[in-house]
């Protein structure tokens, strides 16, 4: 079952989420491959198995196995970085921010998709994990690479919709 089928069973109180998901699928701001990549990485980041499986099903016509590997690579790196950098951002001890992270991040330079697309995937995870430092860093790189604000905002909207879906699935259970 894909996401569209999964959310068709959502209760009336979640109608806005269904409508918002339909809107992002049809608005054409992100090319299809990137749109479904953001949907997939956001679903993975929710850790909701039903949603993850539905996202794989929904995205299979739009993302290649190579792209899926980059999605997993972005998630692997960001699930580490967002926790570490959120710590350095939230702690009162300022010296941690000036210390070397000593975290290996080679996949940041080994991905096959474009730099901007990879940065948008990293941004999606940073948003979902709530790391302001990572959000600002990836958003700055995207602006430096002339990615339009509407695309950056669309990623944030997708993440928020996917996060809501995961939460609704947990409430429904």
Residues marked as catalytic:
131, 134
Residue 160 to residue 173: CA distance in whole angstroms? 20
Residue 50 to residue 48: CA distance in whole angstroms? 6
Q: Identify which of 41, 45, 23, 22 has the alpha carbon closest to the alpha carbon of residue 33.
A: 41
Q: Identify which of 52, 46, 63, 62 has the alpha carbon closest to the alpha carbon of residue 124.
A: 46
Residue 62 dihedral angles phi and psi, to the nearest 5°: -115, -20
């Amino acid at each position: 079952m894909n996401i569209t089928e999964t959310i068709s069973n959502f209760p009336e109180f979640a109608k806005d989420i269904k409508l918002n998901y339909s809107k992002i699928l049809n608005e054409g701001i992100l090319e299809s491959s990137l749109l479904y990549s953001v949907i997939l990485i956001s679903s993975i980041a929710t850790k909701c198995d039903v949603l993850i499986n539905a996202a794989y099903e929904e995205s299979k016509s739009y993302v290649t196995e190579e792209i899926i590997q980059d999605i997993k690579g972005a998630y692997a790196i960001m699930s580490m970085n967002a926790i570490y950098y959120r710590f350095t951002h939230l702690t009162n001890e300022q010296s941690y921010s000036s210390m070397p992270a000593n975290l290996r991040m080679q996949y940041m330079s080994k991905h096959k998709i474009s730099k901007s697309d990879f940065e948008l995937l990293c941004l999606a995870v940073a948003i979902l994990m709530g790391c302001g430092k990572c959000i600002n860093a990836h958003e700055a790189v995207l602006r430096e690479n002339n990615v339009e604000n509407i695309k950056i905002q669309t990623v944030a909207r997708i993440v928020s919709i996917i996060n809501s879906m995961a939460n609704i699935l947990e409430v429904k259970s």
